[in-house]
Structure 1
Amino acid sequence: MSPQMRLTAITLDCPDPRALAAFYQRATGLALVRESNDDFAGLTRGDGLFIGFQRVDDYQAPRWPDQAAPQQSHLDFAVDNLDEAEALLLELGASKPRFQPGGDRWRVLTDPAGHPFCLTRSSD
């Protein structure tokens, strides 16, 4: 029998942990739970999921969809309305790359540190 694994944390490299945590806090409403000087910040959800942001010197942002600096990972967020969520996130500092492989099913955005993330329609 395989051990049971439960995802408890995701950590993203970035140049400015506090700024990236603030972006995701405003976007998701998650609670800020940890800041360690300027090198680390974290958010948490009620069920305990933790998203951390850690400073990396000479951070190189992924280049979506260019694989010269691949994305390596990305986050997906389910939303009720793709257009409204996209508009809010762009206002908060996200960017929208030209390459959009999801058509009307999902949108690819990048956070202020360049990490790609997707918006998908919530299941009804």
Structure 2
Amino acid sequence: MSAHLQLVAITLDCADPEALAEFYHRATGFELHPESGREFAGLNRADGLFLGFQRVDNYRAPQWPDQTVPQQIHLDFKVDDLDLAEAVLLELGATKPAYQPIGDKGRVLVDPAGHPFCITLV
């Protein structure tokens, strides 16, 4: 017996859902969910995937690569131009840690709430 699971949503903890939703909206172009607010915000992708952001009291950002506060989630995005994608994401508020384990085919960045994510060449 097997079950087919369809991923429909990913939710990240953070201190400021609206700000993190705006970062990922500008980075991905996903549409802002009309009922987004201070406690919970979200983005809709055209194929139905929902990316959510929920406010957590006393949120502690992940520390990467140090695991003092482990990463709770890790997102990966494909891009066709690493340098351009990195520049845009840094301008939007991402940061780039010194430790870069991927090599020439990708980069690790950190979103404004501290979640590490990767961009890799298509």
TM-score relative to the length of structure 1: 0.95
Q: CA deviation at 1:105?
A: 1.4
**Contact 2:12–2:73 (CA under 8 A) maintained in structure 1:** no
Alignment of 1:1-124 (within 5 A): 1-122=1-122
Structure 2 spans left out of the alignment, 5+ residues: none
Distance in structure 1 (CA, Å) of the matches to 2:79 and 2:6: 23
Size of the aligned set, in residue pairs, is: 122
Q: CA deviation at 1:37?
A: 3.5
SS in 2 for 1:104: helix
Distance in structure 1 (CA, Å) of the matches to 2:35 and 2:106: 32
Structure 1 stretches of at least 4 aligned residues deviating more than 6 Å after TM superposition: none
Q: CA RMSD in A?
A: 0.9
Structure 1 spans left out of the alignment, 5+ residues: none
TM-score relative to the length of structure 2: 0.97
Moved more, 96-105 or 27-36: 27-36
**Contact 2:80–2:121 (CA under 8 A) maintained in structure 1:** yes
Identity of aligned residues (%): 68
SS in 1 for 2:96: coil
